[in-house]
Amino acid sequence: MRSLSIAATGMLAQQTNVDVISNNIANMNTTAFKRQRAEFQDLLYQQVERPGAAAGGGDSRSPSGIQIGAGVRTAGVYRIAEQGAMTTTDNRYDIAIEGPGYFQVTLPSGETAYTRAGSFQVSDQGELVTADGYKIEPGITVPAEAVDVSVGRTGVV
């Protein structure tokens, strides 16, 4: 029965791995998506025979003993924060970050959140907002008479 239990832990861990990979594939074209990776670790080992114990007949000794693992488990799922491919759009308000960093936005609850999705638009109040309507911080207001908007490498609008 021990072998079935060990095999079951491996199947559960692999199911998590397949779930993570399928999520990565399903979202590979999602703006600002960060892929993930599952990490695994051994479960406890059971010492069946201690090192130095008698092995076979006579004076022979087992130098390493015998350990039997109890299986594997998912240690965690980690987000891989690496630069994705940049795509040119026809929206003059779309902005991309090259290198490390995030856009800071304010949620309706007043909390601060961070995103790398740079698909912005101008709200009816003239403020630069995300596709979900969250204001970016610090707030940027585009005057109604503005002809164009540009953002420098240091973030100056």
- Are both 40 and 96 inside the same structural domain? no
Q: What is the pLDDT of residues 45-96, one digit of tens each?
A: 777 666 666 666 666 766 666 677 788 889 999 888 777 777 778 888 888 8
Domain termination site, one of 79, 114, 131: 79
- For the chain, the domain total comes to 2
Dump pLDDT digits (tens) for 101-122.
Answer: 888 998 989 899 988 888 888 8
Please name every residue paired with 38 in a beta bridge, in sequence order, or none if there are none: 77
- From 33, 51, 79, the end of a domain falls on 79
pLDDT for 132 equals 86
pTM: 0.56
What is the secondary structure of 43-82 as a DSSP string?
Answer: --EEEEE-TT-B-SSTT-B-SS-EEEE--EEEEEEEE---
Task: Check residue 101 and give left, alpha or beta (phi > 0: left; psi -120 to 50: alpha).
Answer: left
* Same domain for 74 and 6: yes
Q: What is the rounded average pLDDT of the residues 2-28?
A: 91
What is the pLDDT at residue 11? 93
SS3 134: coil
Q: Which residues of 94-131 are buried (b: 16+ CB within 10 A; e: fewer)?
A: ebbeeeeeebebeeeeeeeeebbbbbbebeeeebbbbe
Question: Which of the four pLDDT bands, split at 50, 70 and 90, describes residue 22?
Answer: very high
Radius of gyration of the chain from its Cα atoms, rounded to whole angstroms: 27
Domain that holds residue 142: 83-157
